[in-house]
Chains A and B, each alone.
Chain A
């Protein structure tokens, strides 16, 4: 880390996890739609291929664990910024064991563990703009979790955004570029938008979601992005 903000949006590695068979039946969801497992597999492979070949990232693929149907959504398991990784404590009980700690340790990151049992945090609720963090307070992430994140990443300001009618903060928004947040047009998004509007200089663009939305998955859910540029 030659600087706090050098290369925001630039990453060198990606940690992903294979799709378990149990996803189709047991993955947590809000809707009741049927899931085509084959299609999920296809999407996943395409996704990894883009990361590897189009974006040139080094992809670390973790094996699926049938006991953890949501394990493909590795983003929720950890928050990585700079060379520190916060191994989070997902809000959903069934996801508590989705540890990616070993893989992150292997990559040489400083590991911070969220051991406080009153804290919950899903990585999907954490939006890093390059300058600060926004933590969505949702059904999966609480205030205490946000505080622990603030402690782990002392360099940055951490602000909270209330998230209603959506699973995660990043279910309806994401970074689209430096200083640019893309935000959805749903009601939940609009509510959160008001909070974002209080902040200066963030541009907001509406986008749409995809198949994984059926199991409340978004684009960012499927990877943990890491910048491994070793200036340190």
Chain B
């Protein structure tokens, strides 16, 4: 499931593969059980910056290692693999379960629902490990929820970087917004331009 990043990066540009962070709707990213509200937004960066957590990292509350990260995208994406850089001293997450296209998952939902896929993570402080997805299930992802139920024994769970590799389509997954429903059709609601005395009407 995990592959080591052992080739030299001159052959292909690694950073472009990991560019799904550009399609993340950062304003709507949220996390549950984070110690500092809003710190989750700092873990999405470019591949080259993955070890540079000068702007802060995501940490769970004291004594409670569970974390949920909700990531919406600006358009539907296909996700090939995920990379997580955790913290040292047992604060790295040990397991990851993901859910796709579900809004508002909280801890009781996450624990009872069957995830789309789950992985056992290892400590990945250098950010060289990536976890591949079952690509067929990750074909049109509007938002993804990551649930980290355990860590390696630390008091809190720390996440310094979350990287997503894949492609972005241009399709937007829009919620049905304003639609007028008709119980009975009323012709007066649907006047064409010819009837209202407007311009030329085409006869086809």
Q: Do A and B bind each other?
A: no
